[in-house]
């Protein structure tokens, strides 16, 4: 599948990305090519704007050798995390630094016909305001639900029914003329924590509990998507002892009991109207909210104990408005510790994501970086460069 040679420009960039900044000579030695070949490769990479100067290194002979690095700070991604009630757009570099950000509230049951053109417009204005429009390399989009990556089509959760069968990327390709990458929102979150931890050689499970519930698994630096993009869809697994009707049409799903939406419903008699109310009530110490969130953490923990036993991850990171609440984290941790195989718990580290509401944007910009700086894409770019 990889039509790149071990000494191609794409490969040189991959070495520089993994080990840089390096001098030309160091890079030449690492890749194992002649000086002439390396000069050629670097010329091609410079023409495609993929390398930058990164200062100097004093050599033993007193000469200063120029250091080279991947131009991940000079290239730009436009990312958007589209949820059930709001969307976050951001302009980032390929390191995940956020230069501009906008949060957009969406009406209940918003439709792609109205929302996608609006997000394209917001993205355009955000890009031009950031002054980085000319270095845009790709767009990254995340949504809840499954993505058919070959066809670029989404299967949204039942609460976003209008978003099923949508070619999400098309309006962005038409507007910006760059590749558009799609990812499930929980996968984007798991990737974000993986990147933020410095790309550890470890498996990371991300669990997102916001309006809905989803999980993502990062193995070997990539989101494990499964055969139909359904990997990690834990929200609609059945739990013992529940018969509550779920938005998906079945009964007894985890999401019907433990999602943000379910918490709002169970706290409605006390006056809760939104997930924000639930979050605020927990921070104010209101007992009914804390108890409801604790129960939700226990339920998701029951499912997660199975996930942990099967996947045996090093890190579980919790995100979403509900997922980071202390009673949720505490209940989930206790339930996983009581339910998972002892050996799978030995190195397990469960914590709330430290990325806050930046999570999906960081995950998407990393995804864009991995794709746009991959040897195959870089070789295609360098082949095309004048
Ligand atoms: Zn369901």
Helices (H), the chain: 9-19, 24-31, 35-47, 112-130, 170-176, 185-196, 254-258, 260-266, 275-283, 287-311, 326-339, 342-345, 359-372, 375-384
CB atoms within 10 A of CB 371: 17
Q: How far is the CA of 248 from the centre of ligand 1 (A)?
A: 4
Cα(163) to centroid of ligand 1, in Å? Answer: 17
**Dist. CA 276 → ligand 1 center (Å):** 22
| Ligand 1 midpoint to CA 213 (Å) | 10
Using the mean position of ligand 1's atoms as its centre, give its distance from the Cα of residue 187 in Å. Answer: 19
Distance 235 CA to ligand 1 centre (A): 7
Residue 208 C-alpha to ligand 1 middle, in angstroms? 15
Report residue 217: phi and psi, to 5°.
Answer: -125, 125
Tell me the Cα Rg of the chain.
23
Distance in Å, CA 195 to ligand 1 centroid? 31
Query: Does residue 335 contact residue 301 with C-beta atoms inside 8 Å?
Result: yes
Q: How many helices (H) and strands (E) does the chain have?
A: 14, 15
Instruction: Assess contact for 263 and 293: CB atoms under 8 A.
Output: yes
pLDDT in tens, the chain (386 residues): 444 568 899 999 999 999 989 999 999 999 999 999 999 999 999 999 999 999 998 877 777 889 999 999 999 999 999 988 889 999 999 999 999 999 999 987 889 999 999 999 999 999 999 999 999 999 999 998 889 888 888 887 777 888 889 999 999 999 999 999 999 999 999 999 999 999 999 999 999 999 899 999 999 999 999 988 889 989 999 988 889 999 888 999 999 999 999 999 999 999 999 999 999 999 999 999 999 999 999 999 999 999 999 999 999 999 999 999 999 999 999 999 999 999 999 999 999 998 988 888 999 999 999 999 999 999 999 986 44
DSSP class of 166: -
DSSP code at position 168: T
| Ligand 1 centroid from CA 51, angstroms | 47
Residues having C-beta closer than 5 Å to ion ligand 1: 236, 246, 248, 253
Q: Residue 247 C-alpha to ligand 1 middle, in angstroms? A: 6
**For the chain, how far is it from start to end, CA to CA, in angstroms?**
25
Sign of CA dihedral 373, 375, 379, 382: positive
Domains in the chain (CATH in brackets) are: 9-71 (1.10.10.10), 76-185+364-372 (3.30.420.40), 189-359 (3.30.420.40)
Question: Ligand 1 centre and the CA of 207: distance in Å?
Answer: 16
**What is the 8-class DSSP label of residue 200?**
-
Q: How far apart are CA 230 and CA 148, in angstroms?
A: 9
- Report how far residue 298's alpha carbon sits from residue 80's, in angstroms, rounded to the nearest whole number: 31
Contacts (Cβ under 8 Å, ≥6 apart) of 132: 76, 91, 93, 99
Residue length of the chain: 386
Residues 6+ positions from 114 with CB-CB distance below 8 Å: none
Tokens of 159: 């609460």
The tokens describing 232, both together, are: 């990690």
Distance 132 CA to ligand 1 centre (A): 42
């Amino acid at each position: 599948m990889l039509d790149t040679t071990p000494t191609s420009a794409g490969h040189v960039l991959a070495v520089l990305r993994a080990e840089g900044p390096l001098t030309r000579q160091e890079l030449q030695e690492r890749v194992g090519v002649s000086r002439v070949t390396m000069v050629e490769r670097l010329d091609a990479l410079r023409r495609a704007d993929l390398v930058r100067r990164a200062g100097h290194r004093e050599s033993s002979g007193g000469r200063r050798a120029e250091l080279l690095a991947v131009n991940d700070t000079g290239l730009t991604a436009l990312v958007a995390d589209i949820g059930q009630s709001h969307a976050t757009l951001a302009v980032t570099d390929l390191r995940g630094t956020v230069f501009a950000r906008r949060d957009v509230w969406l009406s209940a049951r918003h439709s792609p016909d109205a929302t996608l053109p609006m997000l394209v417009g917001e993205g355009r204005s955000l890009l031009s305001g950031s002054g980085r429009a000319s270095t845009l390399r790709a767009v990254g989009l995340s949504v809840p639900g499954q993505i058919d990556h070959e066809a670029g089509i989404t299967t949204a959760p039942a609460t976003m029914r209008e978003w099923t069968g949508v070619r999400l990327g098309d309006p962005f390709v038409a507007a910006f003329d760059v590749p558009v990458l799609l990812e499930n929102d929980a996968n984007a979150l798991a990737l974000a924590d993986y990147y933020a931890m410095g790309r550890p050689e470890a498996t990371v499970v991300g669990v997102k509990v916001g309006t809905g519930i989803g999980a993502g698994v990062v193995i070997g630096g990539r989101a494990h998507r499964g055969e139909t993009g359904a990997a990690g869809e834990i929200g609609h697994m059945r739990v013992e002892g529940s018969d509550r009707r779920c938005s998906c049409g079945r009964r007894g799903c985890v999401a019907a009991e433990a999602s943000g939406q379910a918490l709002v419903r169970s706290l409605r008699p006390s006056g809760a109207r939104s997930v924000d109310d639930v979050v605020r009530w927990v921070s104010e110490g209101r007992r009914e909210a804390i108890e409801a969130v604790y129960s939700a953490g226990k339920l998701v923990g029951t499912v997660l104990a199975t996930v942990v036993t099967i996947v045996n991850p090093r890190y579980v990171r919790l995100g979403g408005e509900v997922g980071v609440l202390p009673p949720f984290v505490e209940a989930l941790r206790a339930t996983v510790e009581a339910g998972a195989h002892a050996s799978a718990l030995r190195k397990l580290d469960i914590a709330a994501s430290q990325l806050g509401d930046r999570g999906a944007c960081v995950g998407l910009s990393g995804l864009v970086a991995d794709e746009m700086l991959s040897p195959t894409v870089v070789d295609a770019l360098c082949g095309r460069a004048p």
